[in-house]
Structure 1
C-alpha cells in the first residue's frame, strides 16, 4: 500500500465559521459531518475536520496547492471579503501575491488564527 494523507483535525473557535471560510475560499461543497466535526473534503479525497477543542488554540500553518483558476477565484474572494493577506509569511508585503517558485502564492489567516498559504506550484 502507498502512503497518502487522509485527514487532519483543524482546531477552531467556531467550527461552523471556520469550515464555511474554507469552503468559500476554495469553492468546495459541504461534506458529511458527524460528532464534534464539521468536515470538508478536498478534491484529492483529503478530509479537513474542524473541531472546537477545550484548550487554547495554537497557530498552525496549512498550505494548499491549487491550479491557476482556483487561485484566481480564491484571491478574488479574499479581496472582495476584505481578508488581510500578504505576499510573504513575514507579512511585509500586504495586499500582494508572490511569484516565487515559478507560480503564485498568498498568505492569510483563518478565523481561528491559523496561517494559510495558497500556492500554484509546489516548492519541490
Structure 2
C-alpha cells in the first residue's frame, strides 16, 4: 500500500529481509499457505513477492530470531488460507501470545489468526487492519483500549 503525503511524496515498503535456516523451504511453505507464486533466486536471497513488496529470505544459522509478519487478506482468501492451514494440521492461535489455540479472533469485526513458519516466525492473517473497526466495532481490537473493554 502506498501512502501519498501532502507534499506529493509516495512511500512504499519495497522489501524486508527474513532470516531463515532454509530459505527455499520457508518460501515454499509461505507461498503454498498464502496461495502465492513460487519464490525466485536473486543473488543470495530467495525472494517471495507479495503485492508490491517482497520478503527476501536470507540463509542463516539456527537459532533464528523470531519475527512477526502480518498479511491482510480478503474474506475469501482468509477462507482458502485457513483451509490450507487445517489441511496441513498446523497449530494456530487467535492471539500472538499463543494462549488461545485452535481459535480465530474477530478483532475489528474481521477475522484473524496466528501460525508459525518453519523457523518459528509468527505469521498472522487478518481481514481488517488493526484499529479499523474503532471502539464502535462489535469486537474492537484489544490494542485500542476502548472503555469497558476487557
Counterpart-to-counterpart distance in 1, 2:23 and 2:46: 6
Give secondary structure in 2 for the equivalent of 1:83.
coil
- Name the structure 2 match of 1:5: 13
RMSD between superposed Cα atoms in Å: 1.3
Matched, 1:46 2:50: no
Unmatched 5+ residue regions in structure 1? Answer: none
1:3 is displaced (CA, Å) by 1.0
- Alignment deviations for residues 56-90 of structure 1 (CA, whole Å, 9 cap, x no partner): 42111111111111111111111010111011112
Counterpart-to-counterpart distance in 2, 1:77 and 1:62: 18
Alignment partner of 2:36 out of 25, 28, 43: 28
Give secondary structure in 2 for the equivalent of 1:85.
coil
TM-score normalized by the length of structure 2: 0.77
Where do 1:86-101 residues align within 5 Å? 86-101=93-108
1:53 is displaced (CA, Å) by 2.2
Counterpart-to-counterpart distance in 2, 1:80 and 1:74: 10
Unmatched 5+ residue regions in structure 2? Answer: 1-8, 132-150
TM-score normalized by the length of structure 1: 0.92
Matched, 1:17 2:25: yes
Moved over 2 A (4+): 53-56
Counterpart-to-counterpart distance in 2, 1:77 and 1:57: 25
Q: May I ask how many residue pairs the two structures share in their alignment?
A: 123
